[in-house]
Amino acid sequence: MTRIVLSTGNIISGGPSIIRKPGTYRSNLEFTNSLRSNFLAAQQDYAAELQNGNGNGNGVSGYHDQYAQPNGSRPATEVWTEMDTATSTLYVPRVDWSSGSLQEDREQYEITLKLFFLPTAPANERAAYIKTALQLVTKELGVRSVDLLIASFPGVSFEGDCEWEADKLNANMGNDEEELTTWRELEALQSEGKIRKLGIAEFGTEKLARFIKQVKTRPAVNQINVKNCCNVPPPLTKLAKEERIELLTHGDCTDILPSGTLRELLGQGLQGAGVLADGESTGGGLRGNLIPEWVVKYTAFVKDRGVIENKGYFAGAELVEH
């Protein structure tokens, strides 16, 4: 069994991936495009390092040849990814931990995480997912704690022709029990001081009302997607106001990393990273069943300047060998 950790690096100045195409309201394009371009950049950077790597004096000629793909444009996976054998984790691409740290003092920032628990992953592993995601982000940004963590649960969405309809549909979505269990894990991290505020995403009036009755710490934030009506259902507005829960907007889709998408991202196709073997082919690459587990989106926002300094994603998946 191999864990795979995908990362985008800082995408805030990474070019067009971050620009929303007009007309799209909920999408994972930012995430998938950023992953793709980070894979490509890493392949180019590390391959270039190899090719120009004779300066270290060992003078091994042809060193890079053994890593070059026989047929092509992509450098071998080993060159631009990293296998941590101790934890059996493959980092795609290698993470450059030195590049993400914040430029100003910690207190200048509002650091927000949104953790997507994916429908493909077992709910009883969420404690581990939270720990891993938090660890990766805090390491990337060089901080000890984050300001807000928003939990996005699978199967919960706020979608419909208009927000009113969305609110009704929402009432029976998700799995209350699993969500409460996960919340308790988050509450524990909050009391340890690792997370300042907690939030949830896409909770409609009914679901939210049920939820806050059963939790110790109420969410400070509920993120909802407003498509185009800009009419938040009045009961939700009222409840949020009474309970002092801030209703924030977002444009993410809930199932941000379906298996098929991940397989395509890592596969041998034209758009793929070449990490994963194709089903029937005899070519290289890892084999097995790929299960996306979680995605974390993080942003570091300089509060009194309104500037986003760092934004990126990590994602976790498991490769189960046949």
At 249, list the tokens: 């907007």
Which residue has tokens 């053994």? 66
Residues 198-227 that bind another protein (CB under 8 A): 221, 224, 226
Residue with smaller CB distance to another protein, 55 or 279: 55
Kind plus residue range of the DSSP H or E element containing 133: helix 126-141
Site string for another protein, 260-299 (x = CB under 8 A): ---------------------------------------x
Sign of CA dihedral 34, 197, 302, 307: positive
Residue 46 touching another protein (CB under 8 A): yes
Residue 160 touching another protein (CB under 8 A): no
Q: What is the DSSP string of 180-200?
A: HHHHHHHHHHHHTTSEEEEEE
Whether residue 93 has a cis bond before it, omega within 30° of 0: yes
Residue with smaller CB distance to another protein, 52 or 282: 52
CA distance 202 to 154: 10
**The only residue of 48, 128, 180, 320 in contact with another protein, by rule CB under 8 A:** 48
Residue 157, SS3? coil
C-alpha gyration radius of the chain: 21
Residue with smaller CB distance to another protein, 94 or 218: 94
**The only residue of 3, 45, 187, 286 in contact with another protein, by rule CB under 8 A:** 45
CA distance 122 to 193: 27
End-to-end alpha-carbon separation of the chain, Å?
10
CA distance 181 to 202: 18
CB of 27 to another protein, least distance (A): 10
Residue 86 touching another protein (CB under 8 A): no
**The only residue of 9, 154, 267, 274 in contact with another protein, by rule CB under 8 A:** 9
CB of 321 to another protein, least distance (A): 30
Residue 235 touching another protein (CB under 8 A): no
Residues 124-153 that bind another protein (CB under 8 A): 148
CB of 25 to another protein, least distance (A): 10
- Nearest 10 degrees: Cα torsion 194, 197, 200, 206: 140
Which residue has tokens 């980092």? 91
Binding interface with another protein (CB under 8 A): 9, 12-16, 18-22, 37, 41-42, 44-49, 52-56, 94, 96, 98-99, 104, 108, 110, 112, 148, 221, 224, 226, 228-230, 232, 246-251, 299, 301, 304-309, 311
